[in-house]
Structures are given as structure tokens and as C-alpha cells.
Amino acid sequence: MRGLRLWVSLAAVAAASVVGPVVCAATAQEAVYLVRHAERVDDARDSLLSAEGRARAAHLAEMLRDAGITAIFVSEYRRTAETAAPLAARLGITAVKVPADQLGVLLARVRAAGPKARILIAGHSDTVPALLKALGCTQQVTIAKAEYDNLFIVIPGDKVAPRLLRLRY
């Protein structure tokens, strides 16, 4: 567990050093972390997390506790808020809700967070790939219906394409 957290931190630092220190305040942050919500109890529109999902959310909080997260964004659905809640509580950050269908609003808020921001976004299997594309990532990303363990890290660049790391947690 500790080794994985160290690996994630080292990978993020390595990716950031490849991109370089130049960051455009209007379009980039130090890092943007994206996850799909954790496992849910059922297929109800606003389902809560299952026991497995709550455990995954706690694991995410443990993994990202030292990542320097400065802002957290979730959709209006409880499962995204519950996925981010353990980390938000640990860091004393209030998660900001942005409706899942308002990608432009979310991107504006991410960009407004500033060049030193490290942001966690808890989204959905369809919104996370759309967000990655909107952040400038060119890799085609799909998330299967039963896939809840992706952790994407985007290291934005000013004069180069953003770096995308896809990890599992």
C-alpha cells in the first residue's frame, strides 16, 4: 500500500519534470486527478456507494493524502460526493458540486483554480473521458461499466501536450 502511494507520487513528479516548470495560469494546473465514482449499491439514478465502494473511496483518500490536492470537484450525484468524501474530510476541503452535464462550467472552475492547483475530479464513466479530452489529452480513453479502479493523472503543459498517466487503485 505504502509502496504504491510512493510510486504514484514519484510518477507524478517524474511526469511533471518532463513537462517542465512553465505553466499557463489560464489553462493549466500542476496536476488534475480524475476518477470515476467507486462501486455503487445499485443502478438507481442517484445510488449510494456500496461497502466495496466505500472501501475504495477510503483507499483513494489514503493514496492521495500527500498529493497536495487543493480543490475537489464532484457531480450532483451522491456516489461522486461519497467517493471524494474521505479525502475531502482528511484534507479539510469542501467538495464543489458541478452538474455532470456542465463540462464547460467544470473546466472554467478548474482553470480558475490557478497554476498551483492540484485538483481531484470525481466523475462518471462517460464524463471522465470527456474531461480528459477537454484537458487536451489525445489518448482515447474508455471506461467499462464494471471498471471503478482507474486513477488518471493529467500533468498540463503550456507548449507541449499534457501528460496522462493511467493508474489503478
Number of domains forming the structure of the chain: 1
Instruction: Provide the pLDDT confidence category of residue 67 given band limits of 50, 70 and 90.
Output: very high
Q: Which three cell numbers stand for residue 81?
A: 460526493
Output the domain CATH number for residue 30.
3.40.50.1240
pLDDT, tens digit, for every residue of 142-167? 999 999 999 999 998 877 889 999 99
pLDDT, tens digit, for every residue of 130-144? 999 999 999 999 999
pTM: 0.83
Print the domain residue range for 72.
2-168
Distances, alpha carbon 116 to alpha carbons 5, 127, 148, in Å: 21, 24, 28
Strand partners, 69: none
Give the C-alpha separation, 30 to 94, whole Å. Answer: 20
Give the C-alpha separation, 169 to 166, whole Å. Answer: 10
Nearest to 135 by CA among 114, 153, 113, 147: 153
Q: Which three cell numbers stand for residue 103?
A: 463540462
What pLDDT does 28 receive? 54
Contacts of 120 (CB under 8 A, 6+ apart): 33, 34, 35, 64, 69, 71, 72, 73, 84, 87
What pLDDT does 160 receive? 86
pLDDT over 70, % of the chain: 83
Say which residue the cell 500527500 belongs to: 66
What pLDDT does 108 receive? 96
- Is the Cβ–Cβ distance between 105 and 99 less than 8 Å? yes
